[in-house]
Chain A
Amino acid sequence: MIAPLWSGLKKVFSPGDVTDVEAFLLRTQLFQGISLREIKRISPLIHYRTYDPDEEVFKKEQPGAALYIVKEGALRIVNPGDPPVVITELNPGDILGELSILDEKPRSASAITKGPTQLIAFFKGNIDDLIDSDPQIAAKLYRNLSIIIGNRLKMSNAKLKH
């Protein structure tokens, strides 16, 4: 009699099974310090996108509205021109389009897939809403985002010095 009651209570208070995507997000830099329960709260905001090889995720100068995390495959961040310049390559776990979460300025470069690619997308509007509905989660996300952007800036500075 006690055992079923206990297992029922455990079900109510435990965060539940971990899906592939949640396990993947727990390992990413953007979700450092964010618990599984918190990830489950924001999982309804996740959009899954699948891209063919050489497909554009976004174009330079387009308004930015989403942040992406590479789940599978790889991408090139390209400055279009003649010839186009590859700025960097991104692999699973990397994020792209992070600046769109902070402001509404146009994209600074284009993102093109190298092969079949799966991305996890978060819409800027939903992240903005998190500030009101779940301020603690939003604060952790913005802190991680600041760290990622800071690291990228350091890397760019280091590249410039060399």
Chain B
Amino acid sequence: MQTLTEAGRETTERTKAYKRSLLFLGLAVTIFLIWTLSSLLLPIVFGALLAYVYIPVVNRFTRYGIPHMLGILMLVAILFSSLLVAFLFIQSQIPDREQQLELRVTALYKLNDRYQDIMKLTPELDGPGWLHNTIGFETDPAMDYVNSFIALNEDERELFSRAIENHTDSEIIRYDRLKKYQEANLGLPVYATGEILHETLSNEGFRFAGRSAGDPTESGSILLTLANSIVIWLLMPVFFMYFLISRGALVKQLVAAVPNIYFEMTLTSLRNVDKAIGHYLRGILLEMAAVFSCYLVVLMLLGFSTSASVLIALACALLNIVPVVGSASGIVLCIFYALIVEDVKSIMGFVNDDNIIMFTAIGAILVQLIDNVAFKPLILGNATDLHPIAVILVVLGGGMLFGFWGILFSVPVVVVLKVMFTTVHQRLKMYQIVRF
């Protein structure tokens, strides 16, 4: 009898050790997979989050007697058609090669004109102003960096000159102005060294960090990286459909594996997390739509062209997903465009080329204020708030791990994880499974 009890105890110990080893192995494999397949993780997470947003739509179809699978196919068809229309619209609004060159020439001229004006760097004056003496050592290299991105290289300058010569008579004023800009740009200095910018850019040895134009090997790798990311992101709709189709089955399998003591707690936790995440994600989309509409109205009132207003409003609404950092970037984007825009014809008579920057800044800040005072509290509530410092850390961490998409989606993902942990923590206490 004693031996049998001993044997039983040994079996229990062995079982415990076996379970612990399995758990450890499972954790190690999960961490390894997350680390090595990190580029795959974002499309999967994004597909899952998108599925959450659209589950009520599929349920609505079901209520009208449409079978579940047909409902999902209809939803996917509607979404992809909308995406295609949006893509075609954005593509039609993106300037062609010649327009891009015009934009860059104008941007380079306007930016430096304003910079020199603010810093009192114009040749007519005796010397640089106090502002330049105070912060010039910081701003000069930054301007040089921006200029190196915008300035035309030799081939582009030639192409631009040909375009100017081939203008039609009706465009003579515009092209004269562009010619004047280009001539001024050719005399632009590298602020940090005093050399002439376009001569320095022609020099093979000169390169600012991040500037790699004209290197065939590097442009090849950019194409390859782009192709890779497109292939990876093609996974997203697959996972989106998979999560929509098998959502109930996945949850059921998870719940079936849970011990009886945690059964009801698991069901209620999953339910609460489900509701909170759905509410948050749908709220984010709604907020994006509201912010987009506000920016569009403000920019069009200021006299920006329709295509520019739509593109900038879209970019600002997308950036707005990232709290604090995204909002600030939206304002900067608007101001940047106001710096280079010309011939403003606003329906508000007091807005003109001289004060457009100020009014754009005011307009963008106003939209952010409306977003923070009205949209965010009304749509999202404060249940999913993150501390501003946490937001910055999360955005930085997301950027380091997953690049651009990490910056954009790290905050929603962290909010979802926060909701999950707080809900499970609360439920564990309510069901008297743990005591604190």
Contact = CB atoms under 8 A, between A and B. Distances in A.
Contact of B267 (A48, A62, A123): A123
A70 B252 CA distance: 19
A121 B263 contact: yes
A44 B68 CA distance: 13
A64 to B, nearest CB: 8
Given A44-B248, A62-B432, A133-B59, A123 B271 contact: yes
A47 B268 CA distance: 14
A83 interface: no
A44 B252 contact: yes
A123 B263 CA distance: 10
Most buried by A among B62, B263, B264: B264
B231 interface: no
A113 to B, nearest CB: 10
Mostly, the B contact residues are helix
A158 to B, nearest CB: 31
Contact of B264 (A45, A51, A58, A129): A58
Given A62-B432, A63-B431, A125-B267, A132 B260 contact: no
B393 interface: no
A125 B268 CA distance: 8
A158 B255 CA distance: 40
Interface residues of B, number: 19
Mostly, the A contact residues are mixed
A49 interface: yes
Contacts of B265: 65
A76 interface: no
A55 B249 CA distance: 27
A107 B127 CA distance: 83
A49 B267 CA distance: 13
A157 B59 CA distance: 43
B387 interface: no
A66 interface: yes
Contacts of A134: 63
Contacts of B256: 47-48
B264 A66 contact: yes
A129 B274 CA distance: 13
Contacts of A56: 261
Interface residues of A, number: 24
Contacts of A62: 264, 430-432
B268 A65 contact: yes
Nearest to A121: B263
B264 A133 contact: no
A129 B59 CA distance: 10
A21 to B, nearest CB: 14
B252 A49 contact: no
B271 A125 contact: yes
Interface string B91-114: 000000000000000000000000
Interface in B326-379: none
Interface string A84-120: 0000000000000000000000000000000000000
Contacts of A47: 252, 255-256, 263, 267
B263 A66 contact: yes
A59 B430 CA distance: 12
Interface in B254-280: 255-256, 260-261, 263-265, 267-268, 271
Contacts of A133: 59, 62-63
Given A47-B252, A47-B255, A63 B430 contact: yes
Given A59-B432, A65-B267, A134-B63, 19 more contacts: A44-B248, A44-B252, A47-B267, A49-B260, A56-B261, A58-B264, A61-B432, A62-B430, A62-B432, A63-B268, A64-B264, A66-B263, A66-B264, A123-B267, A125-B271, A132-B63, A133-B59, A133-B62, A133-B63
Interface of A: 44-45, 47-49, 51, 55-59, 61-66, 121, 123, 125, 129, 132-134
28 contacts: A44-B248, A44-B249, A47-B255, A47-B256, A47-B267, A49-B260, A49-B263, A55-B260, A57-B260, A58-B264, A62-B264, A62-B431, A62-B432, A63-B264, A63-B268, A63-B430, A65-B264, A65-B268, A66-B263, A66-B264, A66-B267, A121-B263, A123-B271, A125-B271, A129-B59, A132-B63, A133-B62, A133-B63
